[in-house]
Chain A
């Protein structure tokens, strides 16, 4: 199993451009999450999904959109990139049932908005 796969690993955007960060998992996990990691700020939850067709906002959803059309994929869309969105983005997943608190993370996508 590849686990959680994120693409791209690096991207530079100009202000106002749009892009989609891709996330896929092959563990048949229902729950998927998007976090952003800013230096000194820790990880902040952007959006999460409890299953195909169901998404919900986290702590910092403004400027982002998500969709969950399949169990495997959970793309994160930035519509009008702003410098404040410069960050490292992490996708994570977990299975259903009683949760022990373990999330499986991707390698991260480093985004720079200039």
Chain B
């Protein structure tokens, strides 16, 4: 089955500490993966995509095909990073499948 798993529903870290949000996927082809973020009272929006190999707001994510993972990382968490994060997998050319989401809280 093609699916995305985010094992942590809640993650709490202190400001300045490193952050890692886990994402594992199951997909028979070559995956295209994304991270979406929903800040409080804002719309769900794209944070980054693995094919771009970009760093957005200090976050990076590396696709590890051997471990079927796409973990989101940031070396030093900031309070404004508190949000709901979703990992998503592109299915075919038409659909995105989302993981269960991880609520990240950055403590001052």
Contacts and interface: CB of A to CB of B under 8 A. Distances in A.
Interface in B29-47: 32, 34, 36, 43-46
Nearest to A59: B97
Interface string A22-54: 000000000101010000111111001010000
Nearest to B52: A100
A42 B46 contact: no
Given A101-B88, A101-B90, A105-B44, A42 B49 contact: no
Contacts of B34: 101-102
Interface residues of B, number: 23
B44 A101 contact: no
Contacts of B98: 35, 42-44
Nearest to A100: B49
A90 B44 CA distance: 9
A99 B91 CA distance: 11
Interface in B67-108: 86, 88, 90, 93-101
Contacts of A42: 6, 86, 98-101
A107 interface: yes
B9 interface: yes
Interface of A: 31, 33, 35, 40-45, 48, 50, 58-59, 90, 92, 99-103, 105-108
Interface of B: 6, 9, 32, 34, 36, 43-46, 49, 51, 86, 88, 90, 93-101
